[in-house]
């Protein structure tokens, strides 16, 4: 686009930004309590909650990483996404109704009830650190991608997107976030189909030539089926995806908060299922976009400029040079939609964690109005910090923040293992849990610092031997196993009471059976 965003594209993008601001303003008058601000009065319809969850899970990283991965290789990055369906099938019907009764607003309230305040604080802090790191990267990657297409400055884009996202999240609460997610979900689909249309029909021979070349070249493959943990095989990617989505659905505030906004258990389950069902085809379409981009340049013979040196730069270059005025603006809007939906959800969730897991614990006598005010300030502060992190990234290309990302990755570990220990074991207790937490932090630090060719610490034969995708999965298992063994070995003063046992799967099943029997007897 000659380095400049054409006026029609600028207009399309501006209209989108104005609409999301208007949605925030529309819901601002309804944000009179923490119940409204954090869980939308528990009245969101299932279809809207599902689209919101879908839009939250699809970020600007997806727009770049998936096409780039498919362009450079195959569809192996799609394998972890399939695990979302497996995880939901295994745990959805149990975890969703359980959380709707076990917590008020924060997922980490459950860990506090099960293992005490310190365990709650650890889980909340681990979640917050992980999402802070992600938010800064999402801001930066979004701005970098749009700048490659439009010529706008990276810093200006980071600040603009930050201001708009923070504004509608501060004033509109979770209702504005969810209904903007619905809008952003439709915009995202529109952008995908616009791009695919050009990629399939511009090359000579059309869709049949594009797809035939991709198939014959082995570009549509899910990867290596070997039973090898040292490479990104299907086994490694499946393990990574399973534990990633188990943590998402069992111990991630952004997802658990969606359970709480539905009107009832059935609506919550339907909404979560819809979100998962929508994600898989979108991930597949992004892989197809990357493969079609590869086929486009092979079939047309068009040379890439010297400035395009990485696989994830090719698709933005195609957009900048082959999408006509107006339609390019649609894709920019869809890219903004993917990023802003993720960022707004993160900001609201961080506010819930900040208020419920920290502010309310430190000030138990605070009023609802004071907690609402604190939530708004936390949204603004977290958004400002994320913007600042993205600006640092834009100047250093990551070097200044590499240590921070490494530390946060080490500390923000084991939440899925912590949930499994709390939910599956009646013998687990706080002392044993802390042994498990210490063990998984030490394991993750060792594995993170010693894996790969560019390892930070070389211990020779004692380096981590497997692929880095396995670190998270093994970390969860370390916490689960070590925490359980320590709970068995370390004595406790008192046996767990009945209320505590109801916080486990077995107590929950017993309680549900008793409730159903009571209903049957009454009928």
Q: Give the model confidence (pLDDT) of 155-196 as tens digits.
A: 888 888 889 999 999 988 888 888 888 888 888 888 888 888
426's tokens: 């009646």
Task: Please tell me the predicted confidence (pLDDT) of residue 434.
Answer: 94
Q: pLDDT grade, residue 407 (50/70/90)?
A: low
> Has residue 409 got a pLDDT over 80?
no
Task: Please tell me the predicted confidence (pLDDT) of residue 488.
Answer: 92
Q: Are 113 and 284 in contact (CB under 8 A)?
A: no
Rounded to the nearest 10°, the torsion over CA 119, 122, 127, 128 is 140
Q: Which of 372, 380, 24 is nearest to 181 (CA)?
A: 24
Tell me how far apart the alpha carbons of residues 57 and 50 are, in angstroms, rounded to a whole number: 11
Span 302-320, mean pLDDT?
A: 83
Tell me how far apart the alpha carbons of residues 418 and 437 are, in angstroms, rounded to a whole number: 8
CA atoms within 13 A on the CB side of 348: 35
| Start-end of H helices in 29-78 | 34-39, 46-57, 60-72
Tell me how far apart the alpha carbons of residues 479 and 485 are, in angstroms, rounded to a whole number: 10
Q: Which residue has 């409730």 as its token pair?
A: 515
> Has residue 523 got a pLDDT over 70?
no
Span 500-513, mean pLDDT?
A: 83
Q: pLDDT grade, residue 288 (50/70/90)?
A: very high
Q: Which of 266, 361, 353, 259 is nearest to 34 (CA)?
A: 353
Q: Mention every residue, 6+ apart, whose C-beta is less than 8 A from residue 471.
A: 444, 447, 448, 451, 464
Q: Which of 241, 176, 232 is nearest to 20 (CA)?
A: 176
> Has residue 276 got a pLDDT over 70?
yes
Q: Are 74 and 223 in contact (CB under 8 A)?
A: yes
> Has residue 358 got a pLDDT over 70?
yes
Task: Please tell me the predicted confidence (pLDDT) of residue 3.
Answer: 43
* Phi and psi, residue 44, nearest 5°: -85, 130
Q: pLDDT grade, residue 198 (50/70/90)?
A: confident
Task: Please tell me the predicted confidence (pLDDT) of residue 314.
Answer: 86
Q: pLDDT grade, residue 406 (50/70/90)?
A: low
Span 230-255, mean pLDDT?
A: 88
Task: Please tell me the predicted confidence (pLDDT) of residue 419.
Answer: 93
Task: Please tell me the predicted confidence (pLDDT) of residue 2.
Answer: 42
> Has residue 4 got a pLDDT over 50?
no
Q: Supply angle C-alpha 406, 471, 490, rounded to 5.
A: 100
Q: How far apart are the first and last CA of the chain?
A: 69
User: For residue 44, what are the β-bridge partners?
Assistant: 262
Q: pLDDT grade, residue 404 (50/70/90)?
A: very low
Span 446-468, mean pLDDT?
A: 85
Tell me how far apart the alpha carbons of residues 138 and 144 are, in angstroms, rounded to a whole number: 10
Tell how far CA 316 is from the center of its chain: 23
Q: pLDDT grade, residue 411 (50/70/90)?
A: low
Q: Which residue has 């039973």 as its token pair?
A: 227
CA atoms within 13 A on the CB side of 445: 8
Tell me how far apart the alpha carbons of residues 308 and 72 are, in angstroms, rounded to a whole number: 13
More confident call, 443 vs 321: 443
> Has residue 105 got a pLDDT over 90?
no
Range with the poorest average pLDDT among 105-109, 133-137, 413-417: 133-137
Span 334-338, mean pLDDT?
A: 79
Average pLDDT over the chain reads: 84
Task: Please tell me the predicted confidence (pLDDT) of residue 496.
Answer: 65
DSSP string, 409-470: HHHS--HHHHHHHHHH-SS--HHHHHHHHHHHHHHHHHHHHH-STT-SS--GGGS--S-TTH
Q: Are 24 and 171 in contact (CB under 8 A)?
A: yes
Task: Please tell me the predicted confidence (pLDDT) of residue 396.
Answer: 67
473's tokens: 């999965």
> Has residue 429 got a pLDDT over 50?
yes
* CATH fit for domain 7-26+43-412, picks 1.20.1730.10, 1.25.40.10, 3.40.50.1100, 3.40.50.2300: 1.20.1730.10
The pLDDT > 90 percentage for the chain reads 18
Q: pLDDT grade, residue 59 (50/70/90)?
A: confident
Range with the poorest average pLDDT among 157-171, 238-252, 309-323: 309-323
Span 34-41, mean pLDDT?
A: 87
Output Rg (C-alpha) for the chain, integer angstroms: 24
> Has residue 494 got a pLDDT over 80?
no
């Amino acid at each position: 686009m000659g380095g400049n965003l054409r006026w029609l594209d600028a207009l399309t993008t501006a209209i989108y930004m104005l609409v999301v601001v208007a949605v925030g303003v529309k819901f601002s008058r309804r944000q009179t309590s923490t119940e409204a601000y954090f869980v939308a009065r528990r009245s969101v319809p299932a279809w809207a909650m599902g689209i919101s969850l879908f839009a939250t899970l699809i970020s600007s990283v997806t727009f770049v990483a998936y096409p780039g991965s498919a362009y450079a290789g195959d569809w192996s990055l799609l394998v972890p996404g399939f695990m979302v369906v497996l995880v939901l099938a295994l745990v959805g019907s149990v975890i969703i109704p359980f959380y709707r009764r076990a917590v008020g607003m924060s997922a980490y309230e459950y860990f506090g009830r099960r293992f005490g305040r310190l365990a709650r604080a650890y889980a909340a802090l681990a979640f917050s650190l992980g999402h802070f790191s992600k938010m800064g990267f999402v801001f930066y990657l979004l701005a970098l991608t749009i700048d490659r297409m439009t010529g706008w400055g990276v810093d200006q884009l980071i600040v603009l997107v930050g201001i708009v996202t923070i504004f509608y999240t501060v004033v509109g609460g979770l209702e504005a976030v969810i209904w903007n997610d619905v809008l952003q979900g439709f915009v995202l689909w529109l952008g995908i189909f616009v791009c695919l249309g050009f990629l399939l029909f511009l090359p000579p021979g059309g869709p049949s030539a594009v797809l035939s070349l991709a198939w014959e070249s082995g570009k549509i493959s899910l990867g290596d089926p070997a039973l090898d943990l040292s490479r990104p095989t299907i086994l490694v990617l499946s393990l990574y995806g399973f534990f990633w989505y188990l943590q998402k659905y069992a111990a991630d505030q952004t997802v658990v908060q969606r359970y709480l906004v539905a009107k009832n258990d059935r609506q919550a389950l339907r909404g979560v299922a819809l979100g998962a069902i929508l994600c898989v085809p979108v991930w597949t379409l992004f892989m197809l976009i990357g493969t079609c981009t590869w086929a486009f340049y092979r079939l047309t013979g068009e040379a890439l400029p010297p400035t395009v040196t990485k696989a994830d730069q090719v698709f933005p270059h195609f957009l900048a040079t082959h999408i006509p005025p107006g339609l390019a603006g649609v894709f920019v809007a869809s890219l903004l939609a993917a990023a802003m939906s993720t960022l707004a959800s993160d900001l609201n969730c961080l506010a819930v964690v900040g208020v419920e897991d920290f502010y309310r614990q430190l000030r138990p006598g605070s009023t609802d109005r004071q907690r609402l005010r604190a939530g708004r300030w936390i949204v603004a502060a977290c958004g400002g910090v994320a913007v600042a992190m993205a600006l640092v990234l834009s100047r250093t290309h990551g070097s200044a923040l590499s240590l921070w990302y490494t530390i946060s990755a080490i500390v923000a570990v084991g939440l899925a293992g912590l949930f499994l220990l709390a939910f599956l074991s009646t013998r687990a207790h706080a002392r044993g849990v802390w042994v498990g937490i210490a063990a998984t932090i030490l394991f993750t630090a060792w594995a993170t610092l010693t894996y790969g060719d560019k390892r930070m610490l070389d211990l020779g034969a004692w380096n981590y031997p497997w692929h880095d995708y396995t670190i998270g999965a093994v970390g969860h298992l370390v916490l689960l196993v070590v925490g359980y063994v320590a709970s068995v070995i370390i004595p406790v003063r008192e046996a767990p009471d009945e209320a505590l046992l109801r916080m486990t799967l077995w107590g929950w099943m017993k309680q549900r059976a008793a409730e159903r029997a009571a209903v049957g007897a009454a009928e």
